[in-house]
Amino acid sequence: MKYPPLATDSNPPSRRFFDVFRYSRRALGLVWSTSRRLALIFAVLTLLAGVFPAAVAWIGQLIVDGVVAAMGQHRETGSADTTWVLLLVAGEAGVVALIAGAQRGIATCQALLRALMGQRINLMILEKALTLKLAHFEDSEFYDKLTRARREASTRPLSLVTRTFGLVQNGISLVSYAVLLVQFSPWTVLILVAGGIPEFLAEAKFSGDKFRLFRWRSPETRMQMYLETVLAREDYAKEVKLFRLGPKLLQRYRAIFEKLFAEDRRLTLRRDSWGFALGLLGTAAFYGAYAWIALSAIRGAISLGQMTMYLLLFRQGQSAVSASLSAISGMYEDNLYLSNLYEYLEQPVPPPQGELRQGPRPGDGVRFEEVSFRYPGSEEPALQLVSLHLRPGESLALVGENGSGKTTLIKLLTRLYRPDSGRILLDGLDLQQWESEALRARIGVIFQDFGRYQFLVGENIGAGDMQHFEDRQRWEQAAEKGMAKEFIDKLPQRYDTQLGKWFKGGRELSGGQWQKIALSRAFMRTRADLLVLDEPTSTMDAAAEATIFEHFRDLSRGKMTILISHRFSTVRMADQIVVIEKGRIVEQGSHEQLMERGGQYAYLFSLQAQGYR
């Protein structure tokens, strides 16, 4: 699998450093547009939490020096004025309370923003999914992008903003510490910063490695997710049990985990051991400075209070440096994940095709003109030079072996795919020039793998026409046409019966009942004058199928119908029959004409007729 190059190791270190901020602006924009109020409170509290710690250290110095002075006074006079020291202690307590308040406020803002942002980004991901073409969903590389975006990216923008703010906060603290520390020696500031750098370099390297691992292994993670679905979903449960697939699939699941874990462990161990070793350098720097400050106090160069303050500043400074550095490496990691999210969101999608709502020759019906098509990544064409003409009021049946290209023809007709060459015309206008809604309204289609939604019965029918999704009257009319009315009337809550097993009180339907629901769905589009049924009755018994088609013919008078069926008793009723073999039309005509011809159709027909004798 090929992935586009990442902004990682191959870039010069300066570029890499600035890459850390590449998505910060966008993430900030996202947070800002999600909730301005929360973002503002978050920012102000972050600033306050940055300055307060230095104030604590400074008051601490005053306290120690105040105590030392008061002790001296006590020694000399037998009593001492303690008001100042007590005031300082109360002041420090106040500032510490403010720090706690600011931190709690930051945590609250984060929690609220996390929920809002999670929802917002998930919506962005799903809205994008709605604009994608069917081909995107069938492209495994693209599907990986989608899975990765859904799995990881929703928490990353907030995390990036939190880390950016954290960096600013620690930066402010560091500047305030530095202002106080410089009075002792500028070298201490340098030691403070330099001590953290090795650990940071290690962090940045391992964050990059981790992301590459995450990206590279996403097909395996996807397989794991798929296995979880198969093992734990009701629609697979029958086969999993009867074929005893469970242990085998679990074994695969485990094997993937073990492989991934081995890599994770290696990375985690390397990351942590390097982190520890380089962290020691920081500790050594701290204790070096500690000794220096202590010796200065002994020599009387600084007061006891100053020594306490410098030590505190140094200790806090060190943790601010390491917090800043790990914020930077975390930001680097967030950026990598966000690059994946934006790669997905910015996937180019061809703009909606066509704007015309009428063809130049109304009543011309559907024409295929030398249409050829090959699925992306496929060697063999699925359709080759297919030409046919269907007039209003006519019915057409497609016949052919499995995999001969029948469904593909319907996918092209419904514009789910675009022909590689040739044209498909409706009313004399190329499908590509039709405005989407106008075209959709003209076509009612049921695919053989139609959706079985775990919604109400009525909504399952209403799904056929979004404008009337909740229109009861239309449900009932469509159900009557689709011959579903009879069994729906016997359901406990009729059209309000929940279907499927995912939700409480859900009912499961038989295969044939589901097909009747799907058939009714096709009748929701009352304006459609082209009805396409791809094996709509395959799970019904022959008698039901015959009745449905009689009925269907009555209802679709004046409309065009295209029917795919492997049952010749149904197929023979069509005005025009098209036999497809390996993507090419090999025979075309009415039942009588084709029988007379004595070709493939006549052979298959008599073969099936024998079966019924």
- For residue 13, state whether it binds ligand ATP (rule: CB under 6 A): no
CB 313 within 8 A of CB 57: yes
From 212, 160, 153, select the one nearest 346 (Cα to Cα). Answer: 153
> Which of the ranges 64-72, 107-115, 332-340, 403-411 carries the binding residues for ligand ATP, by CB under 6 A?
403-411
- Residue from 367, 406, 468, 474 binding ligand ATP (CB under 6 A): 406
- For residue 404, state whether it binds ligand ATP (rule: CB under 6 A): yes
- For residue 405, state whether it binds ligand ATP (rule: CB under 6 A): yes
Q: Is 130 exposed, middle or buried (0-12, 13-18, 19+ CB in 10 A)?
A: exposed
Residues in 241-270 at the binding interface with ligand ATP, rule: CB under 6 A: none
- Sign of the Cα torsion 497, 498, 501, 504 reads negative
- For residue 610, state whether it binds ligand ATP (rule: CB under 6 A): no
- For residue 498, state whether it binds ligand ATP (rule: CB under 6 A): no
Residues in 131-160 at the binding interface with ligand ATP, rule: CB under 6 A: 138
How many whole angstroms separate alpha carbon 99 and alpha carbon 158? 22
Which residues are paired to 588 by β-bridges?
578
Q: Which two tokens stand for residue 604?
A: 């298959």
Q: Which two tokens stand for residue 288?
A: 């070096």
How many whole angstroms separate alpha carbon 405 and alpha carbon 373? 10
Total number of residues that touch ligand ATP (CB under 6 A): 12
CB 516 within 8 A of CB 484: yes
How many whole angstroms separate alpha carbon 535 and alpha carbon 563? 7
- Residue from 13, 94, 363, 403 binding ligand ATP (CB under 6 A): 403
Query: Hey, which bits of 565-607 come out as E strands?
Result: 576-581, 584-589
CB 294 within 8 A of CB 307: yes
- For residue 567, state whether it binds ligand ATP (rule: CB under 6 A): no
Of 212 and 418, nearer to ligand ATP (C-beta) is 418
Residues in 83-142 at the binding interface with ligand ATP, rule: CB under 6 A: 138
Smallest gap from Cβ 572 to ligand ATP, in A, equals 18
- For residue 407, state whether it binds ligand ATP (rule: CB under 6 A): yes
Residues in 359-398 at the binding interface with ligand ATP, rule: CB under 6 A: 375, 378, 382
- For residue 570, state whether it binds ligand ATP (rule: CB under 6 A): no
- For residue 451, state whether it binds ligand ATP (rule: CB under 6 A): no
- Residue from 400, 462, 464, 536 binding ligand ATP (CB under 6 A): 400
> Which of the ranges 27-35, 399-407, 420-428, 486-494 carries the binding residues for ligand ATP, by CB under 6 A?
399-407
- For residue 162, state whether it binds ligand ATP (rule: CB under 6 A): no
Smallest gap from Cβ 218 to ligand ATP, in A, equals 21
Distance, first Cα to last Cα, the chain: 54
How many whole angstroms separate alpha carbon 497 and alpha carbon 279? 63
Smallest gap from Cβ 410 to ligand ATP, in A, equals 8
Fill in the DSSP letter of residue 353.
Answer: P
- For residue 408, state whether it binds ligand ATP (rule: CB under 6 A): yes
580, 585, 589, 592: CA torsion to nearest 10: -40
Smallest gap from Cβ 384 to ligand ATP, in A, equals 11
Q: Is 274 exposed, middle or buried (0-12, 13-18, 19+ CB in 10 A)?
A: middle
- For residue 402, state whether it binds ligand ATP (rule: CB under 6 A): yes
Q: Is 2 exposed, middle or buried (0-12, 13-18, 19+ CB in 10 A)?
A: exposed
Of 167 and 382, nearer to ligand ATP (C-beta) is 382
> Which of the ranges 275-283, 319-327, 402-410, 453-461 carries the binding residues for ligand ATP, by CB under 6 A?
402-410
Q: Which residues bind ligand ATP (CB under 6 A)?
A: 138, 375, 378, 382, 400, 402-408
